[in-house]
Structure formats: structure tokens, C-alpha cells
A and B are shown apart, each in its own frame.
Chain A
Amino acid sequence: MKLLAPLRVLMPFAVLVAIWWGIKSGAQVPDKLLVAPPAVWASFVYLVTHGILAEYASASLRMIGLAAMISFVIGVPLGFAVGTNRYAARALEGTLRFLQGISGIAWLPLAILWFGFSNTTTLTIVIYTLIVPIVFNTMTGVRAIPENYVLALQSLGAGRLRIVRDVYLPGALPSIVVGMRLGMGYGWRALIASEMLVRQGGLGDLIFSARTFSQIDRIMVGMVVIGTLYIIVDRLLVQPIETMTIARWGILRR
């Protein structure tokens, strides 16, 4: 059964490719609108062997990594500060929801006016997109911690720092991880969109430049890589941390 698991995951992808190929050859779609899977594969091999894909993909990965780090370092303490203060939490909840409504992409025009067509623009957009769910989820996580945990620890003689370390941090961790995971999803999308406009490298730039020369094969390679990299980052990095904290502490089964 274990051997069948990867097959179950890959099966729908195979179906997708089959449909794509079927439409291409069945309806005789011209090459300037859609190319067949072998052409995309050939393009992929070309981009890999010439180091082009590595360059663009690593630019995107570096950017999301940097943005994630900065967002985490700023967002988590901010979420804590807001979450432990009842009045601040109530006051900021509406603002955060409002900001969640304005996607990072909607900030692009303003960011471009401020920072030009530069990596700073992209970084700003991605950090903005990542940080809102991180702050929001950290705040929610902190606020969901039962008051008794804190009171009990105070009665055991714990000071403020101790309570942050022993109660707030571990108590909010699963929620922080959820925020990170959501943020990475939103951030990755915003990153690609920003790269398409800013044109300073990255997978978004790759596929948007390919459009200029109608390189459909290249666009499709880029899209597949964008999706694949997201899955890899999410499944191999973020999800294991989430499962670990939730399963071990039984947060959901209290």
C-alpha cells in the first residue's frame, strides 16, 4: 500500500497531461496557442542544461526565503504584542482584516512609484503579503491560550518572561506555523505577480518575457516549476513542522 501512495498523488497529474495532450492533438490547436507535452519537456531540458532555469528559480527562492525570514522576525513579536493586549487586539483586528483584503498585488502601483522597478519593490510586496497572516495568526494563537495557563504559572511564581517562554510561545506555535504556511502560499503568488511587472529576474520574469516572444513552451515550463516549487517548499518544509507540533502536543485534541 505504501508503494501506491506516490502513485495516488501523481495519478491526477497524469490525467491532466493526458487531457492537455488530447485537446492539443484532437482539436489540432496551432502551436502559437498551445504546444504538446514533448515540446514543453524539450524546453525544460534546454532551460536546465543552459542554467537559465536555475538562475531564475533561485532568484525567486532567494526572494521568498528572505521575505519569509524578515516577515517572521517582525511579524511574530508584533503578533505577540497585539495578542497579549486585549485592547490592542480588538482595535487592530479590523485593520488587519482590511489589509488582508488589499492583496499585495494591489500595492504594486504604489510600490513601483516609491521604489521603481527594483527588487526592493518585490521584496516589499512579498513581505507585506506574508506578514499580515503571520501577525494575524500569531495574535489569534496567543488569544486562544486559556487564561488558566497563565494564572497557574503566576501562582507558581513565574515572571513575565517565563510566561512568554513557557506558555505564550509554545501555546501559539501551532498557530504561528499555520500563519507561516498561509503566508508562504500568498507570498509565493504575490512574488510571481510582482516579478512579472518588475522584470528583474525570477520565475515571473521568465514567463512574462517568454510571452513577448510567444514562447508558449517556456511559459508552460515556468508555470509547472512555479507549482512544483511551491509544493516542495510547503510539503517538505512547512507542513512537517505543523504536523509535528500538533500531533505531539495534541493541541487539537485537548
Chain B
Amino acid sequence: MAEKIEVSGFRHFFQTEGGPVQATGTIDLSIRAGEFVTLVGPSGCGKTTLLKAIAGFITPSEGSIVCDGKPVKGPGRDRGVVFQELAILPWRTVRRNIAHGLEIARVPRVQRDATVTRLVGLMGLVGFEDRYPHELSGGMRQRVAVARTWAADPEIILMDEPFAAVDAMTRLTLQEELGRLCVATRKTVFFITHSVEEAVFLADRVLVMTKRPGTIKAVLDVPRREAGGRDWDSFTSDPVMQKIAGEVMHLVHAERV
């Protein structure tokens, strides 16, 4: 199967006034087209650094990152990013935020509107199209951020703890919605989290990182469920899922900082 993201010999240092600080250990990883890979690890282990390097926001100190056979040289519209917070623009309405990527790509108005309407429906934002972000709840804002990324239709989507800042109830709904969205669109997703349950619930494959400087210490395959079958009720009652979650929990637990 085609490798969509190929990270080899990646290592990163941050330059500080006290000299270089090692952010990650050596990381090798490859993600196949259409795969949903989650990366779980303790805070400060360097998982965000890895994501930023794949996104092209930082240049790795060592190693190479190749997406779709092309080395990553900077950010690009083939790799969409969903941040934890503060990413949608407060001076644009929901509609204009979601359409932003299409606007930049000079997609004609009619087509743009059709895409926005479709995503507004998928993400449960109907009726909020002309609101400004400050009029929305935190969960709603993250829905807009997700919709904006999907609207631009990148092949790869990088998500950096996108639901960490929303309340627990909303988070469950957003996770289910994301699951449905992925089944409907078959994107290659790289998703960072520190929540074990979230990692197992969403993934085709879970990567577990060690504490800083982080390396990948374990890879666990999550058996593919039926299309649309990613909901919390069946997840919690599925012994296979619970067993994997237990294993991941055990692995993460050993890395407590």
C-alpha cells in the first residue's frame, strides 16, 4: 500500500539561550494512505514537535519527512492542520471561515457554497453559518476548525489535540462526529492526544511515545470496525477495544513524568 507520510531518522532540538534542548529522540514512522493514526504520549514528549515538522512549520534538526513522495519543505495545502484552539479567525463568520481554504484556492463561489453547506450539515453547524466565533461555544468553534480543514480537501490531515480544550460531554460527541466524517471522506489522519481512550477510539493504529525526549515505544493495531461503527456505546462494550485500551493505558502509565 502507498505510504502517505514517511518520517525517517527524525530528531529535533530547540535552540535556547542555555544551549540546544532535545525535544525528541529518533523517530521513524510511516502512515499509509487512508489510515487514521493516533499518537499518544505524556506532555512534553515532543509529539507536537513531530506534528509541526510534518506540517512544515519547523525544519527538523535531523532526518527527513516525505509526504506523497515529496520532501516536506514548508506548510502546504496538501496537509491540513487542526489546532487545539485559537485557529479560526474571529473577524470571519462561520461560513467564511469554513470557505477560507477554497477562497485561497480560487474555487468559484457556487462550488464554495456547496462545499460549505455540505460540511455545515456534517458538523452540526446548521443555523450558525452567519455567526462570529465569539458567539459560539468552544465545541462549536472546534467544529468550525475541523470543517474548515475538511473543506479545503487536503489529502493529509494533522490534528493536534483538537478536542483537549472542550468540555468532556462535547468531546464525546465531537469524537463520534470525527469518526463519521473520516468514514465518509477517507483521509489520511495523524492525530495527537494525551487521552488513551480517544487514541484507541479513533485509530486504525495507535503509536505510544516515551517521555521526553520522546521516541515511539509501541505500535498497536486497532481492528477495523464496520463503516460508521465508531460510537462510544459499542466501544465501551467491545472487549477487544477495552483490551487494547488497557494495553495502551499500561504503556502510557509507565511513562508518567
Contact = CB atoms under 8 A, between A and B. Distances in A.
Interface of A: 146, 148-149, 151-158, 162, 166-167, 170-171, 248-251, 253-254
Contact of A157 (B77, B83, B85, B90): B77
B91 A170 contact: yes
A176 B152 CA distance: 31
A151 B57 contact: yes
B91 A249 contact: yes
B240 interface: no
A145 to B, nearest CB: 10
Contacts of A171: 89, 91
Contacts of A152: 81, 83, 87-88, 145, 148
Contact of B101 (A156, A167, A248): A156
B89 A254 contact: no
A249 B75 CA distance: 27
Given A158-B104, A162-B104, A254-B134, A151 B86 contact: no
Find the residue from B105, B134, B152 having the highest chain A CB count within 10 A. Answer: B134
Contacts of B86: 146, 148-149, 254
Contacts of A253: 134
A155 B81 contact: yes
A158 B85 CA distance: 20
Interface of B: 55-57, 74-77, 79-81, 83, 85-91, 100-101, 104-105, 132-135, 145, 148-149, 152, 154
A142 B230 CA distance: 42
Nearest to B96: A166
10 contacts: A146-B87, A148-B85, A151-B83, A151-B87, A152-B145, A155-B149, A171-B91, A249-B90, A254-B86, A254-B133
A158 B86 CA distance: 18
Contact of B75 (A154, A166, A167, A250): A154
Contacts of B145: 152
A254 B90 CA distance: 7
A249 B57 CA distance: 27
Which 4 pairs, one residue from A and one from B, show the smallest C-beta to C-beta distance? A250-B134, A157-B77, A154-B75, A156-B101
A148 B132 CA distance: 18
Given A148-B83, A148-B86, A250 B132 contact: yes
Nearest to A156: B101
A158 B80 CA distance: 12
Contacts of B80: 155-156
A251 B134 CA distance: 8
Contacts of A153: 100, 104
Nearest to A154: B75
Given A148-B83, A249-B132, A254-B134, A156 B57 contact: no
Contact of A155 (B76, B91, B134, B135): B76
